[in-house]
Amino acid sequence: MKHTEDGIDPASSDPLDSSKRQYDVIIIGSGPGGYSAALRSAELGARVALIERDPVPGGTCLNRGCIPTKALLTATQVLEQASLGEAMGIQMQAKGIDYQRLAAYQDEMVEAMTSGLTQLLSQRKVDLIQGEGSIVGDGLVSVRTPDGTVRRLTTCDTVLAMGSRSRALPGIPFSDRVIDSDRALRLKPFRKRALVIGSGDVALEFATIWHQAGTEVTLMIRRDRVLSHWGRRTGLVMTRELKRQGINVITDSTCQAITESSPDKPLTVTYGPTQGGVETSSLETDLVLAAIGRDPQTDQDWMEGLGIDTDDAGQILTDSQGRTSRERVWALGDITPGNHLAHRAFQQGITLAEAAAGLDPEPVKESTIPRVVYSSPQAAAVGYTKQEAQDDPTLNQVEETIYPMQANSRMRMSGYQGTLSLVTACLSSDLDTRIVVGLEMVSPQASENIAEVQQLVGNRVPLDRAAGLIHPHPTFSEAIGEALLKADGRPLNLR
């Protein structure tokens, strides 16, 4: 095989010739989807390269998302628990936040996860290559390393897992005080006042972190409730809880302009109604976090010439196992349509790796992917809302069961309000068997309890069998058991 200055000479390489190509699978992007695809491919005997532009693997989730935000939430929730303790007779006083130690704690959690992943990839003999990866031909991947060197690698299959980036407010670019979630994680100390624009998980989690730490938080949302893509009841209960805790929520509004007269003076935010009307209002704040969504990182120049089908949002279209419209090129995670969640991408990586190896794995089903918001209280959901179930032609006789969370003893002890909505239905092909098709809940520890319902939904467990499962007493999970009993027509601890 001939070599050029930048690596392999394409003319001498046949990517399908396993005796000549360097790798069986090359993955561009090392987030949860990328690294799971790498690990599973290696487990199946493939020669794998994982390309990552950051110094360490893990992508946004491990380095700038899931792990560091949950580390901050874990820390600031200590302050919240101290406040709740006063109502229970516990007298304690927080002296404040040592931001240097808080930053060190956050960094330690990230380093522990990324170093563990690096070791795991090494043990599986996955080549981790730092650089910017791009497809330059069939079975040809170019990597520009941090020192400017360009390498060309040959492969049979290429997996695109580039992830996403924060979306800026229309006409308002990011700056030192109009920030995205990446910069919010590095913000130490926290500001006295902060405006969070958005109604999803990122917005609610940072609103929670800053509020618990003593920041005066305002949340601006486009509709009448947060979590507007969830069930209406869930969103309204969560909105009410945020307000009750002291977060100022401005509903049915959009940001129109942000003015900064000088770096040492407050920002002036002008906003108006979402639907029609010309009347505007304004507020002053020290910081604005834009948390209105994320965009797929598919706008690189090298992507344009590949002929890969995308939707209007730039997301790559694939079949149920991750194949794109270009042969031997696969895609997963935030650059594909669907729930943009780390655990979804992780499972997609496993499915894709098995399909690339010639197996026929079960596709990832969007309806069985749990969704969690780590606010206070937490929100968690899986499966269908009532409306979504009614819109699905494969389902019939859809029913929604509401369980009052204040009937749960642990919920009463927590100091929070919450809600639980259970959706059941019959398959159109089996009208005699009612199954669990969805659940949403607002409560402490909702993130830990939703996995049980994911099993019920994913395995289409009949309602009468699900209602017979035993839950430990007293726990938050008992609420799920009580809701199942109520849906099955035999409520016990409800009047």
pLDDT in tens, the chain (495 residues): 333 334 334 444 455 566 678 999 999 999 999 999 999 999 999 999 999 999 999 999 999 999 999 999 999 988 888 777 777 888 877 778 999 999 999 999 999 999 999 999 999 999 999 999 999 999 999 999 999 999 999 999 999 999 999 999 999 999 999 999 999 999 999 999 999 999 999 999 999 999 999 999 999 999 999 999 999 999 999 999 999 999 999 999 999 999 998 988 999 999 999 987 778 999 999 999 999 999 999 999 999 989 999 999 999 999 999 999 999 999 999 999 999 999 999 999 999 999 999 999 999 999 999 999 999 999 999 999 999 999 999 999 999 999 999 999 999 999 899 999 999 999 999 999 999 999 999 999 999 999 999 999 999 999 999 999 999 999 999 999 999 999 999 988 776
- Both 37 and 122 in one domain: the answer is yes
**Annotation-wise, does 203 bind a ligand?**
yes
- Both 412 and 447 in one domain: the answer is yes
- Both 247 and 389 in one domain: the answer is no
**Annotation-wise, does 415 bind a ligand?**
no
- Both 158 and 234 in one domain: the answer is no
**Annotation-wise, does 96 bind a ligand?**
no
What residues make up the domain containing 399? 377-488
Residue 190 lies in a domain: yes
**Annotation-wise, does 291 bind a ligand?**
no
Please tell me the predicted confidence (pLDDT) of residue 5: 38
Please tell me the predicted confidence (pLDDT) of residue 81: 81
Residue 24 lies in a domain: yes
**Annotation-wise, does 307 bind a ligand?**
no
**Annotation-wise, does 228 bind a ligand?**
no
Last residue of some domain: 269, 293, 317? 293
**Annotation-wise, does 205 bind a ligand?**
yes
d(CA 171, CA 55): 32
d(CA 467, CA 463): 6
**Annotation-wise, does 489 bind a ligand?**
no
- Both 192 and 284 in one domain: the answer is yes
d(CA 220, CA 195): 7
Active-site choice (229, 340, 471, 473): 473
Q: What CATH number should be reported for the domain holding residue 469?
A: 3.30.390.30
- Both 183 and 284 in one domain: the answer is yes
Residue 186 lies in a domain: yes
Residue 471 lies in a domain: yes
- Both 327 and 203 in one domain: the answer is no
d(CA 32, CA 36): 6
**Annotation-wise, does 198 bind a ligand?**
yes
Q: What CATH number should be reported for the domain holding residue 355?
A: 3.50.50.60
Residue 154 lies in a domain: yes
Please tell me the predicted confidence (pLDDT) of residue 29: 98
Q: Which two tokens stand for residue 14?
A: 């046949």
Last residue of some domain: 313, 345, 366? 366
Please tell me the predicted confidence (pLDDT) of residue 83: 77
Residue 146 lies in a domain: yes
Please tell me the predicted confidence (pLDDT) of residue 15: 55
- Both 152 and 301 in one domain: the answer is yes
Provide the β-strand partners of residue 260.
Answer: 267
- Both 47 and 117 in one domain: the answer is yes
Residue 34 lies in a domain: yes
- Both 476 and 350 in one domain: the answer is no
Please tell me the predicted confidence (pLDDT) of residue 142: 97
Residue 473 a catalytic site member: yes
Lookup result for tokens 């994680």? 185
Lookup result for tokens 């979804």? 344
**Annotation-wise, does 201 bind a ligand?**
yes
- Both 310 and 199 in one domain: the answer is no
- Both 393 and 247 in one domain: the answer is no
Residue 111 lies in a domain: yes
Give the residue among 68, 19, 80, 8 at the shortest CA–CA distance from 378.
Answer: 80
Last residue of some domain: 293, 311, 332? 293
- The total of structural domains in the chain comes to 3
